[in-house]
Copies of this chain bind each other. A is one copy, B any other.
Amino acid sequence: MEIHTEDRCAKAKLAIRDTLDVVGGKWKLVLLSVLRNGKRGFNELSREAGISPRILSKELQELEMNGLVSREVCNTKPVTVQYALTEYSKTLEEVLIAMEKWGNLHRQKVISGN
């Protein structure tokens, strides 16, 4: 079945905007990319991603709310919290890989003087 082009265009725009609503902004994809290498504590994440604790806390909350990151409270002294990717977050793999590839490509372009 053929879909009318204008419809398809509007649908594509909407889908991209949906994705940006969930993982857009400066940090979320960077955080997910760090967590691909295994679970992390709050301070580790803050350091590795270079995010201030205040912003990190908000970003993690939003990622958790959308089912992309899980939060595990560990029975240590003092209590620590570990953040990890959820199964669902693996559906973003293709987005992360495409962005990583493009970042490398663009860097090469900039270095070689366009």
- Are B102 and A94 in contact (CB-based, < 8 A)? yes
Tell me if A77 counts as interface (CB < 8 A to partner B): no
Task: Give chain B residues whose Cβ lies under 8 Å from the Cβ of A24.
Answer: 24-26
Q: How many copies does the complex hold?
A: 2
Size range of the chain A interface in the assembly: 35 or more
- Which of B19, B26, B49 contacts A20 (CB under 8 A)? B26
- Are B37 and A30 in contact (CB-based, < 8 A)? no
CB distance from A91 to the nearest CB of B (A): 6
- Are B107 and A18 in contact (CB-based, < 8 A)? yes
Task: Give chain B residues whose Cβ lies under 8 Å from the Cβ of A67.
Answer: 109, 114
- Are B96 and A22 in contact (CB-based, < 8 A)? no
